[in-house]
Amino acid sequence: MATSIKLNDMVTLFRKELELCGVKEGEKVAVLSEMGQTEDYTAASMLAARALGAQVFNVNLLPTTGLSAEEKTGNVGRTALAGNPTAIEALKRADLVIDLMFLLFSKEQLEIQAAGTRILLIAEPFEAVVRRFPSEELRGRDEAGAARLAKGKQLRFTNPAGTDVTYKLGQYPVLTEYGFTDTPGRWDHWPGGFLATQSNDTGVHGRVVMDRGDILFPFKQYVQEPIEFTVRDGQIVDIKGGLDAALVREHMASFRDPRAYAVSHIGWGLNHLARWDYLATGLPTIGMDGRAFYGNVLFSTGPNTELGGTNDTACHLDLPMKGCTLHLDDELIVKDGEVVPQDMRAPGL
């Protein structure tokens, strides 16, 4: 009985989400999943899409990596879709793919998007998708930031721990992530809430010092001792500090891939419903609370294929930092962890 109540709750919420995604009668909605995983979300997605009059089908694949969606956030781009053109073609013919498998940073995702199919990733547990349910209001603030970022030539951020790093911008597009997608070919992630772009090739210089309390993904840990990254020409050339720095060095080295040391996307969080403390609860999450946290700066390393680059290394670190100050050209965007421009500020803050 409890299971059926939970499924009903899920279907109700998924239906609201699919309404935000513009799903309507006659649209083709594909649910992409791996055997034995995410069965509740698969059922909720299919029932919700059918309730809106969509044609629904499920592409269910045998797992190849053995990794859960959570584990795939740090080991990206290799999916069970690779080498399965029949499944890829079926997904390209859908209007919307609900990705429960984690296609992010894969060639297959880009191919499906290029066919005009929009993709919605859902990888967080039910508690998180309820608590951070998206809105048009968040979309408006995200797009206000994206408009600035698209025109920006230089991004610089600092923090009291000693960060001072500069990104040259203009070569790559901006990724918005506000939690739903109603635009052909566009990807999003429920529940998200941040902006990202990528520096020009070789265009990052300076020092990033993660402070105590900042977050390490995929470790899902708070930094205990500052970690200092030296960045030259878009590459991390040195990582100094205590135990945390040693673990980051070992983790990156384990991929045996020099491209792991590239600086990846950069941006800031805008989701006022995200909780910095959430990781400390120990409850299941892939960590979007930290990544989308309102007023954070999200520094990251590794691949850049998602924004049109050629680095497809599997080693990806997302490194949300709190209390930073960020300028885009001459405009102050984040001051000591507070979002400054009025059209990006969350209501009531």
Tokens 């006659």 map to which residue? 26
Q: How far apart are CA 33 and CA 41, in angstroms?
A: 9
Nearer to Fe ion, 312 or 318 (CB): 318
User: Does residue number 271 form part of the binding site for Fe ion (CB under 5 A)?
Assistant: no
Interface segment toward Fe ion; rule CB under 5 A; list 134-142, 174-182, 253-261, 296-304: 296-304
Nearer to Fe ion, 31 or 292 (CB): 292
Nearer to Fe ion, 48 or 262 (CB): 262
Q: How many residues bind Fe ion (CB under 5 A)?
A: 2
Nearer to Fe ion, 102 or 294 (CB): 102
One of 106, 300, 304, 325 touching Fe ion (CB under 5 A) = 300
Nearer to Fe ion, 33 or 73 (CB): 73
Q: What are φ and ψ of residue 49, in 5° steps?
A: -65, -40
Listed in sequence order, the residues at least 6 apart from 62 whose beta carbon sits closer than 8 Å to its beta carbon are: 34, 35, 80
Nearer to Fe ion, 45 or 300 (CB): 300
Site for Fe ion in 22-51 (CB under 5 A): none
Question: Shortest Cβ distance from residue 252 to Fe ion (Å)?
Answer: 15
> Is-contact 44 7, C-beta < 8 A?
yes
Interface segment toward Fe ion; rule CB under 5 A; list 21-29, 76-84, 299-307, 332-340: 299-307
Site string for Fe ion, 313-342 (x = CB under 5 A): -----x------------------------
Nearer to Fe ion, 72 or 272 (CB): 72
Interface segment toward Fe ion; rule CB under 5 A; list 31-39, 78-86, 129-137, 298-306: 298-306
> Is-contact 271 294, C-beta < 8 A?
yes
Which tokens belong to 39? Answer: 């069965």
- CA nearest neighbour of 235 among 260, 268, 271: 260
Interface segment toward Fe ion; rule CB under 5 A; list 143-151, 219-227, 310-318, 322-330: 310-318
Which tokens belong to 127? Answer: 């508690």
Helices (H), the chain: 2-20, 39-51, 69-72, 85-92, 107-114, 126-131, 136-151, 243-253, 288-291
Is residue 66 helix, strand or coil?
coil
User: Does residue number 304 form part of the binding site for Fe ion (CB under 5 A)?
Assistant: no
Interface segment toward Fe ion; rule CB under 5 A; list 83-91, 236-244, 293-301, 341-349: 293-301
Tokens 């994206």 map to which residue? 146
Nearer to Fe ion, 242 or 308 (CB): 308
Q: What are φ and ψ of residue 292, in 5° steps?
A: -100, 5
> Is-contact 317 218, C-beta < 8 A?
yes
User: Does residue number 188 form part of the binding site for Fe ion (CB under 5 A)?
Assistant: no
Question: Shortest Cβ distance from residue 271 to Fe ion (Å)?
Answer: 15
Residues 177, 328, 169, 321: is their CA dihedral positive or negative? negative
Q: What are φ and ψ of residue 69, in 5° steps?
A: -55, -40
Site for Fe ion in 47-86 (CB under 5 A): none
Question: Shortest Cβ distance from residue 75 to Fe ion (Å)?
Answer: 12
User: Does residue number 244 form part of the binding site for Fe ion (CB under 5 A)?
Assistant: no
User: Does residue number 177 form part of the binding site for Fe ion (CB under 5 A)?
Assistant: no
User: Does residue number 285 form part of the binding site for Fe ion (CB under 5 A)?
Assistant: no
Question: Shortest Cβ distance from residue 194 to Fe ion (Å)?
Answer: 10
Nearer to Fe ion, 60 or 197 (CB): 197
Q: How far apart are CA 189 and CA 32, in angstroms?
A: 14
Q: What are φ and ψ of residue 217, in 5° steps?
A: -115, 140
Specify the DSSP class assigned to residue 193. Answer: -
Q: How far apart are CA 334 and CA 324, in angstroms?
A: 7
For the chain, how many helices (H) and strands (E)? 9, 20
Interface segment toward Fe ion; rule CB under 5 A; list 149-157, 207-215, 252-260, 297-305: 297-305
Q: Which residues contact Fe ion (rule: CB under 5 A)?
A: 300, 318
